[in-house]
Amino acid sequence: MNAPGVMLSCERLTKSFGQGHVAQQVISEVSLALHAGELTLMMGPSGSGKSTFLAMLSGLLRPDGGAVQALGQDLWQLGDAAIDRFRLAHCGFIFQGFNLFASLTALENVLFPLQYTDLAPAEARARAAAALDDVGLAPRAHLRPLELSGGEKQRVAIARALVKHPQLIFADEPTSALDGSNGSIVVDLLHRIARERGTMVLVVTHDPRLHSRADRIIELEDGRIRRDERIDNAMPADAGKEGA
Ligand SMILES: Nc1ncnc2c1ncn2[C@@H]1O[C@H](COP(=O)(O)OP(=O)(O)OP(=O)(O)O)[C@@H](O)[C@H]1O
């Protein structure tokens, strides 16, 4: 079980790629606990293992050693189908490339993950509309990705990740295709979600401009934690809202 307030933790997590004398240990016995309601940035040089670490914490990549406790479950002790179900039910993912369907409107893109739930169609539509409203995009719900800016596309991707109300949100370089102000809007939005809903948000990023917008910064180097620092950061009440 996780300690109170801890939603996700790992113990001596280890991963190597390759075999024999070309084996490369990418994550070396990392232990960590991540809390409800907090946005944590995971930083570090290219190749330090950030994406690999995020993938193991989120049930996407099986570790070689160690354990992950996610919402009180020993994640990697579950069978493959149960891990898939866990991810579908509890995890939201946001990636650098947005991964939106070009032929669907913003609303239809956000609706997409709800087809795997047993929500009635009207309820699903209302949920998707509410998620778009949450990211300030209700007026643009009918537009297709081609008609949206990069920042707007990423906000649609966030709405899609939020629509199932996941308790764990994982974002891998969510701002790297965005300019500074759109990057800040996206991170402030994720921060607001963490605070308002008690969600755990883990963001892998290279972007030093996001430092001041997190609750905690973890820096990886050569597969180990080099720095783990809490940021005293009072977020303005309207941060993450459009035009804030
Ligand atoms: N599937 C794989 N097979 C072999 N090697 C891999 C695989 N995935 C990652 N690696 C290697 O593991 C190391 C860490 O990669 P990872 O993508 O986790 O780093 P990162 O810190 O996220 O890097 P970046 O900031 O450049 O995205 C790299 O040397 C990479 O080449």
CA contacts within 13 A on the Cβ side of 100:
29
Q: Does the pLDDT of residue 237 top 70, yes or no? A: no
Question: How confident is the model over 83-96, as pLDDT tens digits?
Answer: 999 998 999 999 88
**Average confidence (pLDDT) over 71-93:** 94
Question: What spatial distance separates the first Cα and last Cα of the chain, rounded to whole Å?
Answer: 39
Q: Does the pLDDT of residue 52 top 90, yes or no? A: yes
Q: Residue of the nearest CA to atom 4 in ligand 1?
A: 17
Question: How confident is the model over 119-154, as pLDDT tens digits?
Answer: 899 999 999 999 999 889 999 999 999 999 998 998
What is the atom index within ligand 1 of the atom nearest the CA of 206? 25
pLDDT band at 233 (very low <50, low <70, confident <90, very high): low
The answer, yes or no, to whether any atom of ligand 1 lies below 6 A from the CB of 155, is no
Q: How many other CB atoms are there within 10 angstroms of residue 124's CB atom?
A: 18
Q: Which residue has the higher pLDDT, 235 or 101?
A: 101
41, 43, 48, 219, best to mutate for ligand 1 pocket (most atoms within 8 Å of CB): 48
At residue 15, the pLDDT reads 97
d(CA 18, CA 4): 38
Exposed e or buried b per residue across 174-198, where buried means at least 16 C-beta atoms within 10 angstroms of its C-beta: bbebbeeebbbbbbbbbbbbbbebe
Do 112 and 100 contact (CB within 8 A), yes or no? no
Do 225 and 219 contact (CB within 8 A), yes or no? yes
DSSP E strand boundaries for 82-167: 91-95
Q: Does the pLDDT of residue 243 top 60, yes or no? A: no
Query: For residue 139, what are the CA distances in angstroms to 76, 91, 142, 190, 240?
Result: 42, 27, 8, 20, 17
Q: At 241, give phi and psi (nearest 5°).
A: -95, 150
**Average confidence (pLDDT) over 67-75:** 96
At residue 179, the pLDDT reads 84
The answer, yes or no, to whether any atom of ligand 1 lies below 6 A from the CB of 46, is yes
At residue 221, the pLDDT reads 94
At residue 65, the pLDDT reads 96
